[in-house]
Amino acid sequence: MKAFLTPLMCTLLAGPAFAQEPPKPDQEKRIQDLERKLDILSKQLEAQSTGTQMEAPDQGRFGLGASASKVYDTKGGLSIGGYGEVLYTNTRSKLLPDGSTLPSTAQTDALRAVLYMGYKFNDWIVLNTELEWEHGGYSDRSTDGEAILEFAYLDFLVNRAFNVRAGLLLMPMGFVNELHEPPSRLGARRPFLENEGGIIPTTWRENGVGIHGDLGHGLTYRLFAVNGLDGIGRDADHGFNAEGITGAVQLGKQAQANKLALTGRLDWTFTPGALVGGSFYRGNSNQGGNDTIPDTGVPLDTSIAEVHGEYRARGWQVRAIYAQTSISKAGVEALPAASVLREVGTNQAGGYLEVGYDLLSSGGTRQSLIPFVRYEQLKLQKQVAAGVVADPANDRTYLTFGMDYKPIPQVVVKADYTKADNKAKTAQDQFNLGIGYNF
């Protein structure tokens, strides 16, 4: 079949070369679209012949999942997709070093219900949005719920290697921030590294503009300029703290943009199912102070870098990631001594290794049964400013093991148990059950 594809591709793409006039713009667009489709077909045939076909829920475009990127493959007009998850959590009781006990708690949560709504105006202008309701949604009776805009951007598709994106953008970092549909990841909860209070707070989005594309040979990239983090925060509930940068993300809401930041990502899929890559964030997080904390005038230079690798083939699902954050010590030490902002780690680091295996991968069925294990380590105050004592509770490890069952690729039932530990001996173990879907 490969031998057939090569002359076919050459014949189809060489046609315009015999014309007396240069190809028209619409002809160029058709050629580019044909190249993309033939490339996808070639990869699928190679994957099938080598037994490295990846699972359907992970197949998407431009770093997004299958449901989030549906609009790109429509002929035009409106596109609708979505995902959701419901979670049961039982937190185990914990005997503390001082003799007191943290009680066991149990909770159910309609964690997320999401709609992707996109509109393809023409061959090269695409609108893509994600509308999300969390914790049952927001109302007078559910003030802790949320109704939020997760992303909303316009894509201007110039060609395969160079496209322009502008709007509310997902930061292209880690595994989960862009690709977070429940069937695409193992476990009922997102990894602690890639969640609120982790090194990469998920879901992290900011307003910005940038470029992205496919360079061929398995190389893809994204590069965006965005409003920077607000390390001091707009009020006492925002800004840096001992658990990291989560409180400083602005999420597109009247975001302070006195200081901008740059974020980018490069991935290399060197064989079907195997990927390595890295991403970064760099910017000044001092946006100018607030009503209670004046502008220090000292930059809060913030850098985040991560490297990752993934293998999904022959039933195996393996992920590894290491991430590190650095915040300028001089900028942190210029903050008020009594402020929780000063407790942020000037250096934070963490990583995880996750391994799963689909027991039904060789059974000729669309179903999956995937036992997995994931080990994580987080040091949220690896280094701190002068005069700050690191909280031993922020030196953490997690061992999670569980099972994902997919009756079809778009629906998953999950169960897992997390053995949690920290140097303060205050961490509580968790048992989780969840259901999820995407469409």
What type of residue is 203? T
- Which alpha helices (H) appear in 214-296, and where do they start and end? none
Q: Which two tokens stand for residue 169?
A: 């953008």
Stretch 186-203: mean pLDDT: 96
* H or E element in which residue 10 lies: helix 2-14
How many separate helices (H) and strands (E) can be counted in the chain? 3, 18
In 38-162 the beta strands, taken as DSSP E runs, fall at: 77-91, 94-95, 101-102, 105-120, 125-134, 146-156
Q: Which two tokens stand for residue 53?
A: 């076909």
Pair 93, 104: CB distance under 8 Å: yes
Please choose, from the candidates 199, 159, 154, 155, the residue with its C-alpha nearest in 3D space to the C-alpha of residue 177. Answer: 199
| 32 burial via Cβ count (<10 Å: 0-12, 13-18, 19+) | middle
Residue whose structure tokens are 């109704």:
147
pTM greater than 0.75: yes
pLDDT bucket at 319, cuts 50 / 70 / 90:
very high
The per-residue pLDDT for 255 is 96
Phi/psi zone of residue 51: left (φ > 0), alpha (ψ -120 to 50 degrees), beta? Answer: left
141 has a pLDDT exceeding 70? yes
113 has a pLDDT exceeding 50? yes
DSSP state letter for 390? P
The per-residue pLDDT for 144 is 82
Please choose, from the candidates 121, 148, 145, the residue with its C-alpha nearest in 3D space to the C-alpha of residue 135. Answer: 145
Give CA–CA dist 335/387, Å, rounded.
12
pLDDT bucket at 30, cuts 50 / 70 / 90:
low
Give CA–CA dist 112/438, Å, rounded.
11
Stretch 128-134: mean pLDDT: 97
What is the DSSP code string of 141-192?
TBTT-EEEEEEEEEEE---SS-EEEEEEEE---TTTTT---GGGSSSSS--G
Higher pLDDT, 120 or 235: 120
Q: Share the mean pLDDT of the chain.
A: 90
Query: Which residues on adjacent β-strands are paired with residue 260?
Result: 227
Please choose, from the candidates 220, 226, 186, the residue with its C-alpha nearest in 3D space to the C-alpha of residue 374. Answer: 186
pLDDT bucket at 404, cuts 50 / 70 / 90:
very high
Please choose, from the candidates 420, 351, 417, the residue with its C-alpha nearest in 3D space to the C-alpha of residue 382. Answer: 351
Quick: pLDDT tens for 32-91.
666 655 655 554 444 444 333 433 345 688 889 999 999 999 999 999 999 999 999 999
Quick: pLDDT tens for 209-261.
999 999 999 999 999 999 999 999 998 889 999 999 999 999 999 999 999 99
> φ, ψ for residue 404 (rounded to 5)?
-115, 130
Please choose, from the candidates 311, 218, 204, the residue with its C-alpha nearest in 3D space to the C-alpha of residue 267. Answer: 218
DSSP state letter for 211? E
In Å, what is the CA distance from 420 to each residue of 89, 94, 194, 330, 353?
14, 11, 16, 33, 15
205 has a pLDDT exceeding 90? yes
Pair 193, 200: CB distance under 8 Å: yes
Query: What angle in degrees, to the nearest 10, is found between the helix axes of 2-14 and 25-50?
Result: 180
Stretch 340-349: mean pLDDT: 97
Quick: pLDDT tens for 146-179.
899 999 999 999 999 999 999 999 999 999 999 9
Please choose, from the candidates 382, 349, 394, 342, the residue with its C-alpha nearest in 3D space to the C-alpha of residue 232. Answer: 342
- How large a percentage of the chain has pLDDT more than 90? 81
- Which pairing describes strands 411-422 and 101-102: parallel, antiparallel, or unpaired? unpaired
Residue whose structure tokens are 């965006």:
224
The per-residue pLDDT for 32 is 60
Give the side-chain half-sphere CA count within 13 A for 200.
32
- Which pairing describes strands 411-422 and 395-408: parallel, antiparallel, or unpaired? antiparallel
The per-residue pLDDT for 36 is 58
> φ, ψ for residue 381 (rounded to 5)?
-130, 55
The per-residue pLDDT for 9 is 40
